[in-house]
Each structure stands twice: as C-alpha cells, then as structure tokens.
C-alpha cells in the first residue's frame, strides 16, 4: 500500500517568478518586511512580519517556518531532493502540491493573472520532472482569460499536474455560472480533477472577512459544496471529478441534511451515496470524527493531507496510522483513505 499525501504545499519564492516570460518581470510579487509599527494579526502561531504585495493586495508570507521545523529548501522546493528525503522519513510516497500565495487574489487584471499562473505552472512542471513523478501538482487556470484555459491546462497535464486548483468565488461568481464552462470542459477532456482548496478568490469577500479566516476560507468552501449539489452541476459533467481540500469534513453531515430538505422542496432527492454519485472527494482531518463520517458517507471518497509547508508535517499521516493500530477504524478504510481514494481522485 502506498501513502499519498492529498494536500501538500509549496511556498513560492524568487524561483517561481524566474519563470515569468520576457517583459513580465513587473508581475512578480514584492516581498515586504515590517520593521516597525503595530504587528499585523496572522492565522499562524505568531504575528507576521514578512508580506507579499501583489495586485494591490497584501498578505502574510509564510509565518510558521520555525514551528513547522522544515528547511527552507524543502518548503520552497529549492532543493527537490531534500523534500523527497523528508517524504521518505515520513513514509510518504507521493505528494500533491497546492500553491500558497494564490489562496487569495494576487492580480488586478487578466494579463497579470495569466502571467503569474503561467510562471507558477512552469515552475511546478520543473519540480515534477526532478522529483521522478513523486511530486504531482494542482494547475492554476487563468480564469480571467477563458480563451487561454485549455492550452494552459494541456501543458500542465503533460507535465505532472493531476488536478486544477480552484478557489471559491473565482471571478466573483459561484461555481455553477456558465462562465466556468470552458474550464469544466477542458478539465473533463484532459482528465483533470477540479480541486477546490480552502481559499477565496473574491476581492469583496476577502476584504469583508479581513482577519477572520474561518469565514473567509472555510465557510466559502462549504457554500461551494452546497451549491454544487443543490444545482446538480456534477450531472452536467458526469466524467469530471471534484474535490474539497483542506476544509476538514465535520460540516458534511449538517450540509447534507440541509441539502436533503432543500431538494425535497424542489421535488428531488439526494442519493444514498451523495459523494460517490457525484464524483466528489473530501479531505478529512484527524480531529474529525472519522468513524462517524464513514458511517454517514462511506469510506471511498475520503482523502487526507499533511498541509506540508504550512503546519506540522507528520501529524495528519501518523495520527491516521495510529487510528488503524488502535482499532477505531477498519484497516481497509485507512488503506483506502491513504491510497486507493487519492489515486482515484487524482487519476495517479
């Protein structure tokens, strides 16, 4: 049995923006360091003093490097082999990498977004090649440039991408808007999963929820999941796989009950296997009541990730293995969550 880390991260650095095309250097984010003044509250264990500034937006850069105990080379993938060695120590065979800086908006116009996403995708393609296929990744699609989506995702697919990174409220829209048809058709044709990651792409929502990351990132994920099923979008794209990454899963039972009530009023019913019927996978966390979730939705559409680069790198994987040892979960369920399920989601 392999162990697949369904949610790991890379911290962007100057290496990322070295892949900007000629004449696009102005699109590289600035790195700011605070030397005086009131400390800005951050979501990590200490106040941030280093920031990214891009597209008139400012956000804390990596703020927990010391607590995570990771080397800069591993977190930023300046040394891919250092990351692979650490994965070996953690008994992780494959990691699926998600971005960090793009968890909130970084661009004010389509050209800016297209340049940053193109540079990021080529950087990850380079990392994948050096990793020997052990570092797979989520591609960034230029949502403000629908005409460029297919070609960009085709490049990504050919260079190790296994899903498309999508944030709630891309382009200030809910996921069911027809604006997203070029994305969904491209992902379906290329066999790439659509992976919503805890984030928020709405300028308005990001500003409104300033300083409250639960509402900003987590509740946005729940809203998109609810919308997806209430308006039956998976039925329109039956070959497309969907994922909701890094929002835990304790909200799932409540959301399904609410969906059942709303669908009933519309004369429809939620199926007995709402995740399986709709090709949806969800990451669990070890703080979730995983045995109950398995009883509620089964064990074939749950995955788990370490959030490597942002938090304690071994806590999630090792704790899940302990659940297998103490008998709280069937061994077969643990095996599926660590291997078969992420393999199916990402078509590895």
The string of pLDDT tens digits covering residues 252-268 is 999 999 999 999 999 99
Backbone φ and ψ for 218, nearest 5 degrees, come out as -75, -50
The reply to whether 53 falls in a domain is no
User: Which ranges in 159-251 belong to alpha helices (H)?
Assistant: 181-190, 203-208, 213, 219-230, 233-236
* DSSP letter string, 19-56: TSPTT-GGGSPEEEE--SSSPBP-SSSS-B-EEEEETT
Tell me, rounded to whole angstroms, the distance of Cα 347 from its chain centroid: 16
The reply to whether 48 falls in a domain is no
The reply to whether 49 falls in a domain is no
> Which CATH number covers residue 180?
3.20.20.140
Give the model's pLDDT for residue 67: 47
> In 247-269, which positions are buried (b, 16+ CB within 10 angstroms) versus exposed (e)?
bbbebbeebbeebeeeeeeeeee
Whats the size of the chain, residue-wise?
348
How far apart are the C-alpha atoms of 106 and 112, rounded to whole Å? Answer: 8
Give the model's pLDDT for residue 331: 85
Q: Collapse the DSSP code of 107 into the 3-class scheme (helix H, G, I; strand E, B; otherwise coil) and give the result.
A: coil
The reply to whether 39 falls in a domain is no
The reply to whether 274 falls in a domain is yes
The reply to whether 187 falls in a domain is yes
Q: Structural domain of residue 323, as residue ranges? A: 4-14+71-346
Beta strands in the chain (DSSP E): 4-9, 30-33, 50-54, 57-60, 94-98, 135-140, 161-166, 193-197, 242-245, 280-283, 302-303
Number of domains in the chain: 1
pLDDT means over runs of 10, the chain (348 residues): 93 96 95 82 63 88 59 89 93 95 93 98 98 98 97 98 97 92 98 96 85 87 96 96 96 97 94 96 93 96 91 64 74 93 98
How many separate helices (H) and strands (E) can be counted in the chain? 17, 11
The reply to whether 76 falls in a domain is yes
Measured CA to CA in angstroms, residue 11 lies from 212, 282, 299, 310 at distances of 22, 23, 31, 9
State the Rg of the chain over Cα.
19
The reply to whether 29 falls in a domain is no
Three-point CA angle 241, 242, 244, nearest 5°: 155
How far apart are the C-alpha atoms of 205 and 243, rounded to whole Å? Answer: 22
């Amino acid at each position: 049995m392999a162990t697949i880390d369904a949610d790991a991260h890379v911290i962007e650095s100057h290496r990322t923006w070295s892949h900007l095309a000629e004449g696009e250097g102005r699109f590289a984010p600035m790195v700011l360091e605070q030397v005086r003044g009131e400390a800005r509250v951050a979501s990590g264990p200490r106040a941030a003093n280093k920031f990214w500034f891009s597209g008139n937006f400012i956000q804390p850069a990596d703020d927990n490097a010391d607590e995570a105990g990771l080397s800069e080379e591993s977190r930023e993938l300046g040394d891919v082999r250092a990351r692979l060695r650490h994965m070996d120590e953690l008994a992780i065979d494959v990691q699926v990498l998600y971005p960090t800086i793009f968890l909130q908006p970084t661009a004010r116009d389509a050209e800016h977004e297209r340049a940053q996403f193109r540079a990021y995708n080529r950087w990850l393609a380079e990392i994948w090649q050096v990793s020997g296929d052990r570092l797979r990744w989520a591609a960034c699609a230029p949502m403000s440039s629908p005409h460029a989506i297919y070609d960009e995702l085709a490049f990504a697919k050919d260079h190790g991408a296994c899903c498309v990174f999508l944030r709630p409220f891309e382009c200030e829209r809910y996921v069911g808007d027809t604006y997203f048809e070029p994305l969904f058709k491209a992902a379906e044709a290329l066999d790439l999963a659509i992976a919503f990651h805890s984030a928020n792409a709405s300028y308005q929502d990001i500003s409104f929820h300033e300083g409250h990351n639960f509402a900003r990132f987590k509740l946005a994920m729940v809203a998109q999941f609810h919308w997806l099923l209430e308006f039956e979008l998976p039925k329109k794209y039956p070959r497309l796989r969907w994922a909701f990454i890094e929002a835990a899963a304790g909200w799932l039972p409540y959301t399904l009950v609410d969906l059942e009530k709303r669908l009933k009023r519309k004369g429809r019913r939620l199926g007995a296997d709402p995740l399986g019927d709709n090709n949806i996978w969800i990451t669990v966390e070890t703080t979730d009541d995983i045995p109950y979730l398995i009883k509620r939705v089964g064990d074939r559409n749950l995955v788990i990730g370490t959030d490597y680069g942002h938090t304690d790198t071994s806590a999630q994987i090792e704790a899940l293995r302990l659940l297998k040892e103490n008998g709280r979960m069937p061994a077969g369920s643990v095996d599926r969550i660590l291997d078969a399920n992420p393999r199916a989601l990402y078509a590895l």
